[in-house]
Amino acid sequence: MKNLVMLASCVVLAMAGCEKKAEVGAAVVSAPFGVTAKGEKVSLYTLKGRGGLTLEVTDFGGRVVKCWAPDKDGKLADVTLGWNTVGEYEQNGFSMGTLIGRYGNRIRDGKFTLDGKEIQLPVNEVKPAPRHCNLHGGPDGWDTKVWKVERAERDCLVLTLVSPDGDMGFPGTVTCTVTYKVLPNNTWTIDYEATTDKPTVLNLTHHTYWNMAGEASGNVLDQELQVFADKWTKTDDGLIPVKDEPVAGTGFDFRALRKIGAKADWMKAQPGLKCTDNWYDHNFVLRGKVGELKPAATMRDPKSGRKLEIWTTEPCMQMYGAQNMTPEKGLKAKAAGKTYGQFQGVALETQHYPDSPNHPEFPSTVLRPGETFKSHTEYRFTAE
């Protein structure tokens, strides 16, 4: 359990100035964002930092709808993929820009054993065969919930959710608080905190898709990526972990900054990667200790000069390359008259290993009564 309970001075500093109170600051900008299929009203909150970084966040799943970041000339562009309406988020899927819970990534057959008791979750990913797993907490996960806004200020948003015992099959009533904060140095921080009244498992992440040139500007294959990992996690055809392998000499070697598409030929030549359309939907094992803030990834667009550095206390990062956003799906972009296609963004999800409850060798994701789950991730934007 020591791997799960995370607390560092960086988390305390990031939380300073954004206390959890049931009030809305006068300086916050909010607006209606539609109504869910269940009839729930949804709002959009705009968080602005003194350095120019601006987030537009909805309480529907804690989604980041837009993230405006400056380029080397100070020009702002929205560098996240997403949609303009609640209905599109509900209908189109892809976990676009949302909080993920209770369990990010996959659990084999939706099944695990906790304290000698077998837990069965919904199996909501069955295609293409042989996939058969619980994905991102199930069909009615935390991304489908309207979170309660505890506090909203010009540069800070605090969201809470109470997930009842048995929610999507998971044991225990879990109370979760997520704090978004935009700092003056153009850094967006996320702090996750959760407690439970029964033993359960928990793996939280954020599923933002990044394009440093701006959303709907084209694919990201010529943008550069560095991942601070020496190992990646090989999976079976159902995308369930098998073992960690060295990145050296493979298409997963992002130890130095390089073009995302530079190893496309290597990826296409691997029969074992057919299950991910010979592209990225894999876990990277980050260097450093669980609970200590460390670099996870750097993404850069050479043309605009925008650079994103991701730092986290999590042990891993899942990279998904949007290969399934094919043109025939007709996914309309936020930009008027444009649609999304393959590789137009990349999701870099800080988290624990996939299927951890079934792998005792992985860092634990078990949360017990009396313990507090804490996790911290930073998105640091610069331009050069």
Is 118 in a helix, a strand, or coil?
strand
Dist. CA 64–CA 278, nearest whole Å: 28
Question: Does 349 qualify as catalytic in the annotation?
Answer: yes
Question: Does 292 qualify as catalytic in the annotation?
Answer: no
For residues 76 and 383, the answer to whether their CB atoms sit within 8 Å is: no
Residue positions counted in the chain = 384
Nearest to 201 by CA among 141, 137, 290: 137
For residues 266 and 248, the answer to whether their CB atoms sit within 8 Å is: no
How many CB atoms neighbour CB 44 within 10 A? 19
Outline where 191-297 has alpha helix (H): 264-268
List 224, 349, 352, 378, catalytic entry: 349
Torsion angles phi and psi, residue 144, rounded to 5 = -95, 0
List 207, 282, 352, 376, catalytic entry: 207
Most distant CA atoms of the chain, gap in Å: 59
Dist. CA 317–CA 240, nearest whole Å: 15
Contacts of 271 (CB under 8 A, 6+ apart): none
DSSP state, 255?
S
For residues 343 and 222, the answer to whether their CB atoms sit within 8 Å is: no
How many CB atoms neighbour CB 359 within 10 A? 17
Nearest to 226 by CA among 150, 290, 309: 309
Q: Which helix (H) or strand (E) holds 98?
A: none
Q: Would you name the residues annotated as active-site residues?
A: 207, 349
